[in-house]
Amino acid sequence: MKYSLQLNTIQRLTLCADTAVDLMMPNPVSVRADATLREALALLIDRAFSAAPVIDEAGRPVGVLSRSDILVHAREEVRYAKPAESYRKAEPATADGERLDGGFQVESVDRTQVSDAMTPGVFAVSPETSAAEVVRELLAFKVHRLFVVDRDGVLVGVISTFDVLRHLKPDES
């Protein structure tokens, strides 16, 4: 099935924002650099995010973790199968002595930290950066989001390409 968008007239769009503050999503959800990839993946999936800023203890961005970063990590990680362990039906039990009757599994947990898989580059602007400069930087760096940081370098917002698109309005002239 084909879909097409037909425009009868060419209409100009105007970016209706003056500064980064106008474009940004304030108080962004972020992930700690010392969190596990499993925790970060749960956050990305549960919130339907494609990426999240990674912050240090002081709230300063140190990188970005995307679903793609996690896929690359999973692809590059080498895991070797452990020899099979056998149990008699009566043997499996919890530390408290509770019996585990059939149907249980032993999971190998990946303890890799976000800092080991994230993209360490931080592309940031100040809240006062002009909206036009934000667009120029998104294009120049070929990134999907810019971080907005205050004078102390603390993360205060994120601007994605969708945030820019949301502020495009048909020109009234």
Rg (CA), the chain: 23
Give residue 113's pLDDT. Answer: 94
Per-residue b/e over 13-38, b at no fewer than 16 CB within 10 Å? Answer: eebebebbbbbbeeebebbbbebbbe
State the amino acid at position 62 in one-letter form: V
pLDDT digits (tens, 9 = 90+) for 10-23: 788 999 999 999 99
All residues at 6 or more sequence positions from 49 whose CB lies less than 8 Å from its CB, including other chains: 29, 43
Distance CA 91, CA 141 (A): 58
> pLDDT averaged over consecutive 10-residue blocks of the chain (173 residues)?
64 93 96 94 94 93 94 78 53 67 63 92 95 97 95 96 95 76
Q: Which fold has domain 13-76+113-170?
A: CBS-domain (3.10.580)
Instruction: Map out the domains of the chain as residue ranges.
Output: 13-76+113-170
The two beta strands, 155-160 and 145-149, are antiparallel
pLDDT digits (tens, 9 = 90+) for 92-111: 666 677 766 666 565 666 78
